[in-house]
Structure 1
Amino acid sequence: MKTETLLNDGTISLRALEPSDLDAMIRWENDTRLWSAGSQGAPLSRHAIAEYIANYDADLFAARQLRLIVVENATGNAAGAVDLYDFDPLSLRAGIGIIIDENARGHGFGTRALTLLWQYASLHLGMNQLWAMTAIDNTAACHAFTSAGFTTAGRLRSWIRRGRQWVDALMFQRLNIEA
């Protein structure tokens, strides 16, 4: 029996947020080591994250953001999350972000999640391109984006602040060549 679908490659699945994701999201959102990878700069309360989950709108065109949970099919556990953000409905492009739980890293889930989200965005939503920024020294993220078909589109000097230091960032891009 074939288990692959648009949001399932047999090893992982992407699904909507559930109330049961609260503890994992608190862990990810409040991990200060991850804050330089996004725009988070202060801890979020359990209440704030629970409200986010309860009021989440998965309509990318209305909310301009789409967050999906990465699930390891073999265990049913949340292995991470992927986001489309800064959605531009005119140019049909968005930023893409990813977090893989510390306990789930090293199994290729990041590459698989990026590939599934790209397929969903291009085939189902008709998007023309996705882009991402990552610190140049985040070798796991750089490898995952490259392995998922993204190409390096540029380098931004001193783009990411880490305390009193600045790190260069790489911009990755994946285009729908049939557009």
Structure 2
Amino acid sequence: MIVPIPDVVLPGRLAGAGHPVFRLPCGLELRPWAPDDAPVLAESCHDPDIQHWNRPGHLTPDAARERIARWEARRQAEKSVVWAVAEPHGGRPVGLVGLADVDLRGGSAEFLYWLLPAGRGRGAMAEAVARVSRWALEDLGLHRLRITHSVANTASCAVATRAGFALEGTLRSALLHADGWHDEHLHARVQGDPPPARRAGEAGWPGA
């Protein structure tokens, strides 16, 4: 007799969880993107680093509003969940972090993230990835989270490492950027991995 493998996370759990808001130790917060954030999202497409490493295309404010609406529709469809990394109390976004390719049945998802210049230099993205990881593994119940990035993107590699994602290997010629095909690093964090280490002097590290 074939015994069916149960779903790791039952359907409806992501959509029913709402869209949580998190405060980060650096003073920023993670919150849903709002229609009024569309100009910032459109602006992000012109940042050279974001354009190079993330391939967001070019958005008008109207197209950005449509993308924000699609993100909410995809959250309700349990396909992805995306946060703005923003100044507190509904302030201006300075970045994005989210989970894409969500597979509730298989218990996995992949991170995407970027920061505008105004959000860089504070350790915000490592904190954001650690906090979302904690929520995804402990509250949502996923089993495995992954991060992939070009081997040339040392900033993204540092974020993954600091957020507790072990380097598992290199995917050869895996992603096409404007300057050609790039090898990619594969990082992952799974249920039972130790939380990321807290740096000296840090309080409230979100991965602990």
TM-score category by the smaller chain? 0.7 to 0.9
CA deviation vs aligned residue, 1:137-176 (integer Å, no higher than 9, x gap): 1111111110000011210122232335322110111111
Equivalent residue, structure 1, for 2:84 = 69
* Cα deviation, residue 15, structure 1: 0.5
Quickly say closer, same or farther: Cα 1:172–1:29, change in 2 above 3 A. Answer: same
Q: TM-score, normalised by structure 2?
A: 0.73
Unaligned segments of structure 1, at least 5 residues: none
Equivalent residue, structure 1, for 2:131 = 116
- For residues 47 and 59 of structure 1, the distance between their equivalents in structure 2, rounded to whole angstroms, comes to 19
Equivalent residue, structure 2, for 1:22 = 38
- For residues 74 and 25 of structure 1, the distance between their equivalents in structure 2, rounded to whole angstroms, comes to 18
- For residues 144 and 159 of structure 1, the distance between their equivalents in structure 2, rounded to whole angstroms, comes to 20
Determine which of 45, 53, 62 is the counterpart of 2:60. 45
- AA at the equivalent of 1:165: G
Give the secondary-structure state (helix, strand or coil) at the position aligned to 1:113: helix
Does the Cα contact within 8 Å between 1:135 and 1:168 map onto a contact in 2? yes
Quickly say closer, same or farther: Cα 1:6–1:20, change in 2 above 3 A. Answer: closer
| Matching of residue 9 in structure 1 with residue 13 in structure 2 | no
- For residues 72 and 180 of structure 2, the distance between their equivalents in structure 1, rounded to whole angstroms, comes to 36
- AA at the equivalent of 2:127: R
CA deviation vs aligned residue, 1:65-93 (integer Å, no higher than 9, x gap): 11101123399332211111111111111
Q: Work out the number of aligned pairs and report it.
A: 173
Give the secondary-structure state (helix, strand or coil) at the position aligned to 1:57: helix
Bigger strand share = 1
- If you compute each CA radius of gyration, which structure gives the higher value, 1 or 2? 2
- For residues 167 and 54 of structure 1, the distance between their equivalents in structure 2, rounded to whole angstroms, comes to 31
Quickly say closer, same or farther: Cα 1:133–1:140, change in 2 above 3 A. Answer: same
| Matching of residue 156 in structure 1 with residue 171 in structure 2 | yes
Q: TM-score, normalised by structure 1?
A: 0.83
Quickly say closer, same or farther: Cα 1:94–1:39, change in 2 above 3 A. Answer: farther
CA deviation vs aligned residue, 1:123-144 (integer Å, no higher than 9, x gap): 2211111111111111111111
**RMSD value over aligned CA atoms?**
2.5
Residues 108-117 or 76-85, more deviating? 76-85
- For residues 97 and 88 of structure 1, the distance between their equivalents in structure 2, rounded to whole angstroms, comes to 15
Identity %: 25
* Cα deviation, residue 39, structure 1: 5.1
Quickly say closer, same or farther: Cα 1:54–1:140, change in 2 above 3 A. Answer: same
Determine which of 169, 183, 188 is the counterpart of 1:168. 183
Determine which of 88, 92, 100 is the counterpart of 2:103. 88
Q: How do 1:128-147 residues align onto structure 2 when only pairs under 5 Å count?
A: 128-147=143-162
Give the secondary-structure state (helix, strand or coil) at the position aligned to 2:30: strand
- For residues 171 and 150 of structure 1, the distance between their equivalents in structure 2, rounded to whole angstroms, comes to 9
